[in-house]
Amino acid sequence: MLIVICGPTGVGKTSLAIKLCQKFNGEIISADSRQVYKEADIGTNKFRSRKSEARSQKSEFRIQKSEVKIRKGEGYWIQEGVKIYLYDVVEPDRIFSVAEFVKLADKALKKIVRLGKVPFLVGGTGFYLGAFLGEMPYSLVKPDWELRRRLTSCSISQLISQLQILDPKMVKKLNTSDWNNKRRLIRYLELAKAAGSVDKAMTRFPFSATHLRVSKIGLTASRQFLYQKADWWVRQIVDHGLIEETKYLMEKYGENVPLLKGLIYRPVAEFIKEHKLANASFGSRQESAAAQEELVEKIQHQLHACIRRQLTWFRRDRGIKWFNIETVPYSEIEQFVAQLIGQF
């Protein structure tokens, strides 16, 4: 059996999974598009607490780290005695694809099953979860950087016109989001040029070949509760090392790496450039409280939007058994999982 734990950012998926793994002899496969990156720990929430402090081995600044006992390996961490696969698998200057995730997750799943343990697939990146479970198609076509560079200067209407020539069936399938997403349209053109059409470029992972039954657990709460949790977390990471971690990544890998263009890190990188901190020595300057507060609010706003998107995504899946963390105690979820495992 494979137990999936999904839900929006900050709802407590990993914390729950660790408790369940301790109880039922399990291991975790992380399905998070940002936790795969090495040296990015604070902004990706790999550390689940800030109560103790440790010096980074690869930089001079001090960052707040978890009081939880952590041991790092190649492509995994061990937290509280539980192994979490797909942490720290690529450098921050690499683009990590869903195809790579599926390959690595499959390898981890086979290893967990071979050890006789219960696999838990845990994360908030719905596309990764769907692709691995064979529910959503994905592409093996690698990025064509020259093509992307040329298409970047095109307008939305020009991109759609080109797609109409290459793959008119795909144009008919475009939804409102597609019509306003330049990066997605460029990807569609890339796939159509490489394979003749977008559909021909897509594949599905044969998860059914694993012969594992899947049970999905969803954690949720009211939006107000989720926003409050997210707001508290953002304030903690900004106060305890996120800016320093981002500076370090910018200095080592440059400002344009994929990780720094995404959630959490992008507004911090912009903040650093705006305040000309990129070349400042760590801890040598104090930013004004007002400027830092503005940064906090910007990240919080973006995280609220991310939570809404995640809720919308997961609520379309009728196969998820939902638990509201505001009202349901851990013991009830544990009992549910015990019943699932006891059936096999």
Annotated binding site for ATP: which residue ranges? 7-14
Helices 223-239, 242-253: crossing angle, 10 deg rounding: 70
Cβ-count burial of 237 within 10 angstroms (0-12 exposed, 13-18 middle, 19+ buried)?
A: buried
For 65-101, how does the pLDDT look when each residue is reduced to its tens digit (9 = 90+)?
445 688 988 899 999 999 999 999 999 999 899 999 9
DSSP secondary structure, 272-325, as one string? HHHTT-TTSPTTS----HHHHHHHHHHHHHHHHHHHHHHHHHHHT-TTEEEEET
DSSP secondary structure, 291-305, as one string? HHHHHHHHHHHHHHH
CATH of domain 2-136+205-342: 3.40.50.300
**For residues 298 and 235, what is the distance between their CA atoms, to the nearest angstrom?**
11
Domain ranges of the chain: 2-136+205-342, 139-203
Annotated binding site: which residue ranges? 7-14
* Cα four-point dihedral sign 288, 294, 296, 299: negative
Is 101 within 8 Å of 86 (Cβ atoms)? yes
Say if residue 58's pLDDT is above 90: no
Annotated binding site for substrate: which residue ranges? 9-14
Strand runs (DSSP E) across the chain, as ranges?
2-6, 26-30, 52-55, 62-65, 70-73, 76-79, 82-85, 118-123, 138-139, 202-203, 214-220, 320-324
Give the DSSP letter of residue 150. Answer: H
For 257-300, how does the pLDDT look when each residue is reduced to its tens digit (9 = 90+)?
989 988 999 999 999 998 865 444 444 455 577 889 999 999 99
For 198-232, how does the pLDDT look when each residue is reduced to its tens digit (9 = 90+)?
999 999 999 988 899 999 999 999 999 999 999 99
Is 23 within 8 Å of 35 (Cβ atoms)? no
